[in-house]
Amino acid sequence: MSDNLFTRMGWSLKKPLIDNQKGDTTKEVVDEGLEFRLSTNDKLSLNTAKMYSTAMTKDFFDTLISEYNYKDIIFGSRKVARLCDLCRSILDIEMQEGLSEFNDKEPNFKKSDHNDVLRLLFYMCWLFPIPLRKHTQMKDVRSAYSEKFKQWLVFDYELVKELEVELILEGVFKGINSPDNPILDIFHDALRIEDSYSSHKIDHNLMKTTLGKNSVFTSHSRLRADKNVTPTWIVYFAEIMGSDELIDIKKKKEDEDYFDTDSIS
């Protein structure tokens, strides 16, 4: 027994012994449950990667890779993937609320809008880091990149229409200062949640969507950002694109070991 103030005064504290051994049957059930969850989440990750790959042509992907280092630990594919996850989750709830029979407001989206809206948000997520990083290298980033992005999306790869690209550019260049718009509101909240860990606390009064105002969701999402979590689907996405320029697998594994956890969504 160590000699300290409490022991000298006649107090003592003995740690209880806890039997934490699991029976063979219990261990088997736990292991089976874990294996099932990992297998299910792995399938969901692969399906997510396949879904997003339909919005990303190989030529456009190669152009992005040649323009920007998506292996960047802080502002690379990890951030892109988390932003995509946030946008998708926020959009799903916005659509469910709009379709609810208890909602007396005019819905912002129809059920048929889901894939088109998600596609626009997907492009915002991929383009946003480029001007963010270039701000330290040039004076007028928007002038330098707005026409380039428009050329890629509308004319070179024919991914969106001219009216749609203007909305994408608003989200990419104005970010949290974007004007009110149902689609830009989703991107606005995703950005505030994703970037809150590094600089400022989330003010839920500034959030514009249902999930953005939900403290449980934002707290969980902030933790993912704080740990710089790598959503597993982006690893599959890199494989589908046939690229090793998205994820530093060695660094990813080191971070997972350090934090003892990683996303499997």
Q: What is the pLDDT of residue 217?
A: 94
- Give the model's pLDDT for residue 42: 87
Sequential pLDDT tens for the chain (265 residues): 556 666 666 666 565 666 666 666 655 655 565 565 666 778 999 999 999 999 999 999 999 999 999 999 889 999 999 999 999 999 999 998 766 555 666 778 888 999 999 999 999 999 999 998 887 778 889 988 999 999 999 999 999 999 999 999 999 999 999 999 999 999 999 999 998 555 567 889 999 999 999 999 998 898 888 888 899 999 999 999 999 999 888 777 777 666 654 444 4
Residue in this structure with the two tokens 């509308």, named with its chain if needed? 154
**How many CA atoms lie less than 13 Å away from 247 in the CB half-sphere?**
24
Contact call for residues 93 and 158 (beta carbons, < 8 A) = no
Predicted confidence at residue 263, as pLDDT, reads 45
- Return the domain boundaries, the chain: 50-259
Residue 223: per-residue pLDDT:
85
| pLDDT at residue 24, rounded to an integer | 63
pTM score of the predicted model: 0.81
